[in-house]
Amino acid sequence: MTLSFTSSLSVDAKLAWYDIAGSLAHARMLGSTGIVPREESESMVQGLLQLLERLEAGQLDLSEELEDVHTNVEDMLTKAVGDAGRRLHTARSRNDQVSTDLRMFVRDAILEIVALLIDVQEILTDRAEEERATMMPGFTHLQHAQPVSVGFHLMAHVFRLQRDAERFLDAYKRVNQSPLGAGALAGTGHPIDREMTAQALGFDRPTDNAMDSVSDRDFVLEFAFACAQTMVHLSSMGEELVIWTSPEFGFAEMSDAFATGSSIMPQKKNPDVAELVRGRSSLTIGNLMQLLVLMKGLPLSYNRDLQEDKGAVFSCYETLSACLFVLGPMYHSLTLCRERMAVACAQGFLNATDLADHLVQRGMPFRQAHEVVGAVVRHCIERGRTLEELSVEELRGFSPLFDPSSLEHIRLEACLDRRGSLGGTSPVQVQEQISAARARAEGQRALCYGEIERLEKVWSKLRAER
C-alpha cells in the first residue's frame, strides 16, 4: 500500500476545525479525571487553542506526508508542546474521533440548510400572498385541469420545503449524540468521563454502545436522504420554471441574473440556473446511493471502507446549500406574465368540473353529470367554442337542469373563489395556508437559531476555559 492510496487528507481536511475542538474537550477531560497530569493537560489545551487560532487565520498547513487530518493535528500539537502532545490520544481511537468530528460537521450542516430552507419559504410565502388571487391553470399530467391561483401553487412548494426542514430537524436529534470515548470498538479501561466531553462539545448525550458508535453511519444516511429528498423538490421547482419561461407557456420571465444567452442564437434566454438546480439533484441522489451501497455489506465494527463516506456527505451539503442559496433570489426576481396565465385559463375547459358540480347540486348523480358535461365539452371542441360562450338554450339541449345561473356558476373567477374547502385554492383559503405556514416557519426558525446560538456559547466556553 502507498500513502497516496490510503490517504484521506484531501477530503477530511474539511474536518480540521472539528478535530481540534474535539481534541480540546478530550484533553481537558484527561486532566480532569487524572488520566494525565493536570499540567500536561493544560499544555495540550494551550497548544490546541493556538492551532485553532492558526486554522481560523488560514495559517495552518497540513502535511500530505501524514495520511489524515487527525494525525496532522496530533503531530502539530506534539511539535508545539513536546511530549505532552503524545498523550492526547490516550483513551481515544481514530474510530471514535472521526465519528465525533463527522457528527459535529453534519450537525452544523443541518442547521445551515434549515436556515436556508426557512429563507426560501419566506420568499415564496411573500410572493404567494401577493398572488393569492392571480389565476393560472392547474395541471395534472401536464394537462389543463382546474383553475388555481399562483399563490396556491407557490404554497404547495412552501409546504414541501417545510416538510424537508422538519426532516432535517428530526434527524438532528439522532446526529447530536457523542461517540467520543467509545475507543476503537469496546470502550476503554481508563476512567474517562464521556458525559463531560459530550457536554463540552454541545452534544445532548453520549452514544449508548461503543461498537455501534464507531461502526454505524445511519446518521450520515439520514442526512444524505434528507438532502436528496430536498433536492428532488428543488429539481421539480427548477423543471417548472424551465416550463413556465418557455415561449409555449410564457407564464414567467427569468431575471437576467439567473439566465444566459446562447453562444450562437442572439434571441435566446436560457433558464440555466433552474436547469442546473434540476441537474444537480442527480449528485445528491448519487451520493445517497453511494452511501447505501458502502454500508450494506459491512460487518461490525469499524471497517476502512468508512473512510469513503465523507466525500459524499460534503457533496450533499455543498450541493444543496448552493442550490438553496440561489433559489430564493431566483423566485424573488421572477416576473410573472399574468395576462398570459389568464389567457391560458380561458382555454382547456378548466371549468368543466364546476359545471358538473352545478348539475350535482341540482340533484343529478355525479357520474351522470360527468357524462353530460363531457358531451358539452365535445360539442364545444367541434365548434371551436368555450363553455362560457354557450347560450342557456344550448346548455338545456344537454340537460333541462341548466338555467341562467349555470353560466355564472362557471365563470372562472367564481370557480376559484368557490374552492374554499380546507386546503383549497380560494383566496381566503390561500391566506389561511399562508398564516399556517408562517407560524410553522417561525417555529422552525426558533429551533434552528436557538440551537445555533447555543452552539456558539458552547464554542465560546470551550475556548475560554483554562
List beta partners, residue 191: none
- CB-CB contact of 198 with 99 (8 Å): no
Amino acid at 11: V
Peptide bond into 391 cis (omega under 30): no
Task: State the cell numbers at 240.
Answer: 417548472
Residue 146 in contact with residue 415, Cβ under 8 Å? yes
> What's the rounded Cα separation, in Å, for the pair 172 and 160?
19
Residue 189 φ/ψ, nearest 5 degrees? -85, -10
DSSP 144: E
- HSE (CB half, 13 Å, CA atoms) of 144? 18
What is the Cα–Cα distance from 279 to 305, expressed in whole angstroms?
Answer: 28
Burial 392-403 (b: 16+ CB within 10 A, else e): eeebeebbebbe
Three-state DSSP at 282 gives: helix
Instruction: Show the DSSP H helices in 143-204 as ranges.
Output: 150-175, 194-200
8 A C-beta contact, residue 231 and residue 319: yes
Cα 227-228-231 angle, rounded to 5 deg: 85
421 catalytic per annotation:
no
Q: Nine-digit cell at 143?
A: 394537462
Residues forming a β-bridge with 252: 336
Residue corresponding to grid cell 405556514: 437
Looking at 262, 405, 435, 460, which residue is catalytic?
262
The HSE-up count of residue 78 (CA atoms within 13 Å, CB side) is: 11
Distance of CA 451 to the CA centre of its chain: 17
141 is catalytic: yes
Whether residue 174 contacts residue 212, with contact meaning beta carbons closer than 8 Å, is answered with: no
Helix (H) or strand (E) holding 453: helix 427-464
Q: What is the DSSP string of 16-85?
A: HHHHHHHHHHHHHHHHHTTSS-HHHHHHHHHHHHHHHHHHHTT--PPPTTSSSHHHHHHHHHHHHHGGGG
Q: What is the distance between the alpha carbons of residues 292 and 315, in angstroms, rounded to a whole number?
A: 15
DSSP assignment string, 334-357: PEE-HHHHHHHHTTTTTTHHHHHH
- Asked if 161 contacts 120 with a C-beta cutoff of 8 angstroms, the reply is yes
Report the catalytic residues.
141, 262
